[in-house]
Amino acid sequence: MCFLIFFFCNIWFSDSPWKDSLKRNDKNYLIVPPILEIVHPFDNETSVIDDLLSFNKNMNFTTTKYLKRLNKQKNPDKYIHKLKSRCLSQNISQACLILGRIYEFGSYNQTENLSLAYSYFLRVNELNDSSANSELSFFHRHIYKNVPKSIVEADFSSNNVESILTSSFQYETGFLRPKSCPTATKSLLAISKHLIDMYMIQPLILDYILDEDVSTKDENFTIFFKRYVKALKILSLPYPSQKHVKKAKYILKTLYKQGFNRSVYPLSLIYMNSKLNNKTRNKIFTMLDPKTIKNDPAATLLASDIFLSSTNGVFRSNHVLLDLKYLSGWYPPAMKKLGDFTYLGYYGIPRSATNSYTLFSKSAIAGYCPSMLSAASQLLGGDGVTEDCSEALKMLRDLIEICPLTEIYNKYVEKGSKVALLKMIEMRLTPSFWIDGINEKGLFSSVTDEMFKIEDIIPKITGNEALKRLCAAKNGDVSSIFWIVLKSDYHDARQWMKRLNQMHLDIPFASKVLEIVVNVKGVGKYLKGEVLNEEKDQIKCLIYSIFHNTIIIVLAMLLIFLLIIRLDMALP
């Protein structure tokens, strides 16, 4: 019997209450947004992302009890009243932090009250707790000017996710901080790795499965498929709880016994993230039989990975690599795996950083987050590819979109929360909705004068239609990319053209026509003196190329014209 050696990291399981906001879609009762931070749970060396609201810092106050009761709509006013008592009478900073967050967004059907939220955040700070520094820093930038500078600086040296994303945006644009692409990118790398590690099943894999057309299948398959999707959605939550994983495992085991072989991939993942012993290894090995997983790319890729890491993998590598190379022609996770082997030179594949980057970038364009991280890392170091910090930053920005805050804040934006919208803009997350009047001076004029104008940081493309297009373009929709290119300025249009040129198009010449439009736009901007300094040399080369090619064409046409005249004269 083959003994398998698995090189997979167990995912961290968590039942933190903040994830309820991802499972529920009741717009009339929105759950309080988490304050996410990179932490080390239980003195573990491995760091994860967790919610500061859920931390129990006081033996006499269990935060999760209050949050779970509020999340279940069990008399919210009663528990908010209790939180006020814990905050104001018992000086429990965590209670103040939760209250501040509730009133900042108007969670649990409370009325949004920024002045009250600010007072609770200040009280957290007065109780020698730095958990509210990120919120106080936000208020300092946009609402109240008198927040001590020491709090703002301490916030930007913290591990708070919102603070890291916001400071990266500031370094990227030069807004409030010196413009520096390397500094902006460095802070995103750590966040990106943590975001990828949050998921047992990466979002793209779930999208591939959900996109399948089951309308032509028989009734039993359709019923099984619905149960299968239910289990996958449980496993696709960030850091799924052991209770939820157990529920998904029960569904998948039942489906597997009923002959629904699609359940093999997620069920194998569950076993691999549990306590591995000979019994579970044998189960995985049996389930991943080639006949069973036929036509299932996720399971086939997982089987390839396991066989190649087994003690006799070297003897099976040729057969398994054929499967891997076939999958890498169209399945993004397989492109990533083959890219890893190519970069390291494993299993007889010639080592090539250039070829690995090609595979990573193709997979990244399709939306596979681990590939975005690998491609961005190579771009930053110029490893096998020309160093390009701005392109690496763009890839990481696309990856950051999987951050749970995107989905959570979008729910508040749709409800009309300007705070949520501004936070998304600052973190460079794409809102799915645009609030009318956001461009007007004085976003929070009802509270006090703003320190900075919102116009300084809003996206150049605004409006609901534009935001929908932007979301679709980031997910690889070709028509939306065309739309964005035509509407964007030269710099942004050029970045989107890079992505478009790496995609397989049904009408290849369409991208060439669009590229001509972008180049004409760039030349026009150059003549008006409106391009960035780093783009001037590129446009000069473009103008020279156009001028050079035009001269060649004119000379060629002149030569043809002279030859025609010569032939006419030579004829009798």
Provide the pLDDT for residue 217: 73
Is the CB of residue 99 less than 8 Å from the CB of residue 84? yes
Q: Indicate whether 541 belongs to any domain.
A: no
| Lowest-confidence segment of 352-356, 381-385, 538-542 by average pLDDT | 538-542
For residues 29 and 165, state if they share a domain.
yes
Answer whether residue 544 is part of any domain: no
- My answer on whether 104 and 177 are in the same domain is yes
Is residue 166 located within the same domain as residue 208? no
Same domain, 178 and 65: yes
Question: Is 221 within the bounds of a domain?
Answer: yes
Residue 434 in contact with residue 401, Cβ under 8 Å?
no
Dump pLDDT digits (tens) for 159-187: 899 999 998 988 888 877 788 999 999 88
pTM recorded for the entire structure: 0.78
Average pLDDT score over residue span 426-441: 71
Q: Do 171 and 230 have their domain in common?
A: no
Better-predicted residue by pLDDT, 66 or 519: 66
Confidence band of 550 (pLDDT split at 50, 70, 90): confident
Mean pLDDT of the 492-515 span: 70
Does residue 132 share a domain with residue 276?
no
What gap in Å lies between CA 231 and CA 300, rounded to an integer? 19
pLDDT bin (cut points 50, 70, 90) of residue 440 is: very low
Residue 484 lies in a domain: no
In the predicted model, what is the mean pLDDT of residues 71-91?
90
Q: What is the pLDDT of residue 310?
A: 63
How confident is the model at residue 82, as a pLDDT?
93
Chain centroid to CA 266: 22
DSSP, collapsed to helix, strand or coil, labels residue 114 as helix
pLDDT at 81: 93
Percent of the chain with pLDDT over 70: 80
Enclosing domain of residue 210: 200-287
| Residue 132: both structure tokens together | 């509210």
What integer is the mean pLDDT of 114-140?
Answer: 92
Q: What is the pLDDT of residue 456?
A: 54
- Higher-scoring residue by pLDDT: 19, 46: 19
Instruction: Note the pLDDT of residue 375.
Output: 94
Within-domain flag for 239: yes
Tell me which of 571 and 522 has the higher pLDDT: 522
Strands 36-39 and 48-51: antiparallel
Higher pLDDT, 82 or 148: 82
pLDDT at 436: 64
Q: Indicate whether 93 belongs to any domain.
A: yes
SS3 of residue 59 by DSSP: coil
Mean pLDDT of 46-61: 84
- Interacting residues of 21 by C-beta distance below 8 A, sequence separation 6+: 30, 31, 32, 33, 34, 71, 408, 411
Structural domains of the chain, count: 2
Supply the DSSP symbol for 403.
S
Last residue within a domain, chosen from 287, 302, 317 = 287
Per-residue pLDDT tens digits for 227-284:
999 999 899 899 999 999 999 999 999 999 999 988 999 999 998 887 777 787 788 8
pLDDT at position 155:
72
Q: Is residue 245 part of a domain?
A: yes
**429 vs 402: CA distance, rounded Å:** 9
183 and 280 fall within a common domain: no
Show which of 136, 167, 191 is a domain's final residue. Answer: 191
Note whether 235 and 269 are same-domain residues: yes
Sign of CA dihedral 439, 428, 18, 66: negative
* Most trustworthy range by pLDDT among 34-43, 192-201, 559-568: 192-201
User: Do residue 68 and residue 215 come from a single domain?
Assistant: no
Tell me what the pLDDT averaged over the chain comes to: 80
* For range 192-220, the mean pLDDT: 79
Q: Can you read off the two tokens belonging to residue 364?
A: 């990244």
Q: Is the pLDDT of residue 124 over 90?
A: yes
Model pLDDT, residue 422: 87
The more confidently predicted of residues 257 and 294 is 257
262 and 134 belong to one structural domain: no
Same domain (yes/no): 105, 170: yes
Q: Which of 234, 266, 287 is a domain's end point?
A: 287
Taking 70 as the threshold, does the pLDDT of residue 365 lie above it?
A: yes
Phi, psi at residue 49, to the nearest 5°? -100, 125
Is pLDDT above 50 for 442? no
The pLDDT value given to residue 446: 42
Predicted pLDDT at 87: 93
92 and 121 share one domain: yes
Q: Between 295 and 64, whose confidence is greater?
A: 64
Coil vs helix vs strand at 417:
coil
pLDDT digits (tens, 9 = 90+) for 458-488: 555 556 667 677 777 766 678 788 887 887 7
Which of 102-106, 199-203, 449-453 has the highest average model confidence (pLDDT)? 102-106
> Would 295 be classed as within a structural domain?
no
| The pLDDT value given to residue 122 | 93
Say which range, 211-215, 357-361, 528-532, has the weakest mean pLDDT.
Answer: 528-532
pLDDT at 4: 38
Which phi and psi angles does 50 have, rounded to 5°?
-140, 175
Rg (CA), the chain: 27
Question: What average pLDDT does the segment 99-104 reach?
Answer: 96
Q: What angle do CA 336, 339, 341 make, to 5 degrees?
A: 115
